[in-house]
């Protein structure tokens, strides 16, 4: 199995480290030719959704990746990656891939004091560590979406078909549950 990690900006190295701990091959997507090779799943890391969205378009990566995602290609978005996948961003006039039936709120915990740590269940797993950095949350999820985690009544992890999103950064802790879940999702 080979995972492409979008590497335009943000926390992509940490995702690759996590994948290597799970004995999974990965590579960095920086330009259009990088996605010409066959691969099995895509990770959209955290960073700034506006910056990543702009670079995706400028580099000609936006359309081919959008087509893949809408066609059911497995994708995992963390934080800014969640915003890229959301159909609607309630406090941003822009949307990006708009593939997942969720409404997300950007910088939902405030801009400066918005970073915090929590522990909560993820799907069937009792508790996992969750690091939030200027994170969004999901303010609305359609029936097509399965909620996997909630913190203080807000949805922070969810799945729809082969799309997985988390508001938090599972790549910044040692716990491998979320990445393992994504790899299992690809194998299904
Ligand atoms: N606040 C960022 C955004 O709006 C997301 C933060 C993150 O990815 N850690 O894109």
The confidence score (pLDDT) of residue 114 equals: 77
Average pLDDT score over the chain: 96
Centre of ligand 1 to C-alpha 180, Å, is 23
Q: Which residues are catalytic?
A: 79, 169, 171
State how far the Cα of 139 lies from the Cα of 108, in Å rounded to an integer: 9
pLDDT in tens, 137-187: 999 999 999 999 999 999 999 999 999 999 999 999 999 999 999 999 999
Could you tell me the maximum CA-CA distance found in the chain, to the nearest angstrom? 42
- CATH architecture of the domain 2-187 equals 3-Layer(aba) Sandwich (3.40)
Centre of ligand 1 to C-alpha 80, Å, is 4
Cβ atoms of residues 52 and 9 within 8 Å: yes
Domain boundaries, the chain: 2-187
Question: Candidates 94, 107, 170: which one to mutate for ligand 1, based on the most atoms within 8 Å of Cβ?
Answer: 107
State how far the Cα of 88 lies from the Cα of 172, in Å rounded to an integer: 26
Centre of ligand 1 to C-alpha 92, Å, is 12
User: What is the pTM (predicted TM-score) of this model?
Assistant: 0.97
Of all protein residues, the one whose alpha carbon is nearest to atom 8 of ligand 1 is: 46
């Amino acid at each position: 199995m080979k995972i492409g990690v979008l590497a335009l900006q943000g926390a992509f190295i940490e995702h690759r480290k996590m994948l290597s701990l799970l004995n999974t091959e990965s590579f960095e997507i920086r330009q259009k030719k990088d996605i010409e090779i066959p691969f099995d799943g895509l990770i959209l890391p955290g960073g700034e959704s506006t910056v990543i969205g702009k670079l995706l378009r400028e580099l000609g990566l936006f359309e081919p990746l959008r087509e893949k995602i809408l066609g059911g290609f497995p994708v995992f978005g963390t934080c800014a990656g969640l915003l890229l996948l959301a159909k609607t961003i309630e406090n941003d006039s822009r949307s990006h891939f708009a593939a997942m039936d969720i409404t997300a709120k950007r910088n939902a915990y405030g801009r400066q004091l918005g970073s915090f740590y929590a522990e909560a269940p993820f799907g069937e797993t009792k508790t996992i560590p969750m690091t939030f950095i200027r994170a969004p949350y999901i303010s609305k999820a359609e029936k097509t979406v399965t909620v996997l985690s909630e913190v203080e009544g807000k949805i922070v992890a969810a799945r729809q078909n082969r799309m997985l999103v988390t508001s938090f950064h599972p790549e910044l802790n040692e716990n491998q549950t979320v990445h393992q879940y994504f790899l299992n999702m690809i194998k299904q």
